[in-house]
């Protein structure tokens, strides 16, 4: 467990209500980040960023409502570094279809749930992205499709012309599961986003 730079150690929260939060925690520890499991609103304090993992977005919505976590999570994700993967990406988007459902609305994107159909609902692709270092392995599991993004959204990777890794200011979202591959570039990119904010004087 060693940090890649001399920067102070970061603490990243992982929303641990449901889904594959343990895999994200393992990756973060491996790249030298302190992990805090977030299950209650007060646990959103004292973290430098938050990961919303994959899982089932409808179940997340139920649990967020039950824990009184929906509004605190929305205000965190509106201004602080937040990374959503798969169901996490669905929760972050402004518009969700297939069917329509509530979301945090902090990422200017339209997302269609389970959009790749049953035949290819789970798939591993390796392709070039805008992250340096060559092709990236990307694991898709009942993935959503990002059908539209706003002008402020930076597209970092696409699949058949649709964005699959996007960033809008403090928000990063992937329709795939970087925590299930050995390549750590996407998590490191998120750390870099946090570091940039710190360096520019935002906490």
Q: Is 54 in the site for ligand GLN (CB under 6 A)?
A: yes
Binding test (CB under 6 A) with ligand GLN, winner from 79, 114, 126, 202:
114
129 vs 183: CA distance, rounded Å:
13
Hey, what's the torsion of the CAs at 183, 185, 79, 146, to 10 degrees? Answer: -70
Q: Is 90 in the site for ligand GLN (CB under 6 A)?
A: yes
> Is 71 one of the annotated active-site residues of the chain?
no
Q: Please, are residues 57 and 101 in contact by the beta-carbon 8 Å criterion?
A: yes
Please report, in angstroms and rounded to a whole number, the separation of the first and last CA atoms in the chain. 24
Task: Quote the longest CA-to-CA distance of the chain.
Answer: 48
Catalytic residue selected from 24, 86, 112, 168: 86
Q: Which is nearer to ligand GLN, 48 or 53 (CB)?
A: 53
Q: How far is CA 146 from the centre of its chain?
A: 13
Q: Is 178 in the site for ligand GLN (CB under 6 A)?
A: no
Q: Is 142 in the site for ligand GLN (CB under 6 A)?
A: yes
Q: Which is nearer to ligand GLN, 12 or 139 (CB)?
A: 139
> Is 177 one of the annotated active-site residues of the chain?
yes
Which segment (42-50, 74-82, 85-93, 185-193) binds ligand GLN by CB under 6 A? 85-93
Distance set, CA 187 to CA 21, 74, 122, 173 (Å): 13, 21, 21, 11
Nearest approach in angstroms of CB 162 to ligand GLN is 16
Q: Is 87 in the site for ligand GLN (CB under 6 A)?
A: yes
Strand partners, 38: 15
Q: Tell me how many residues contact ligand GLN (CB under 6 A).
A: 11
68 vs 110: CA distance, rounded Å:
25
Binding test (CB under 6 A) with ligand GLN, winner from 18, 32, 56, 169:
56
The catalytic residues are 86, 177, 179
**Contacts to ligand GLN by CB under 6 A:** 54-57, 86-87, 90, 113-114, 141-142
């Amino acid at each position: 467990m060693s940090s890649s730079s001399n920067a102070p150690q970061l603490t990243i929260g992982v929303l641990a209500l449901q889904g594959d939060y343990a895999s994200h925690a393992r990756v973060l520890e491996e790249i030298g980040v302190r992990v805090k499991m977030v299950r209650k609103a007060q646990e959103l304090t004292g973290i430098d960023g938050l990961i919303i993992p994959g899982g089932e977005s409808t179940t997340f919505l139920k649990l967020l409502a039950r824990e009184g976590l929906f509004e605190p999570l929305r205000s965190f994700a509106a201004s602080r570094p937040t990374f959503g993967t798969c169901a996490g990406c669905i929760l972050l988007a402004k518009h969700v279809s297939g069917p329509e459902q509530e979301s945090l609305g902090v990422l200017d994107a339209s997302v269609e749930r389970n959009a790749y159909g049953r035949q290819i609902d789970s798939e591993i692709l390796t392709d070039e992205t805008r992250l340096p270092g060559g092709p990236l392995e990307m694991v898709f599991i009942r993935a959503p499709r990002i059908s539209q993004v706003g002008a402020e959204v930076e597209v970092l990777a696409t699949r058949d012309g649709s964005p699959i890794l996007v960033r809008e200011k403090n928000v990063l979202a992937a329709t795939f599961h970087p925590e299930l591959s050995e390549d750590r570039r996407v998590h490191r990119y998120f750390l870099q986003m946090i570091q940039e904010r710190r360096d520019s004087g935002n906490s």
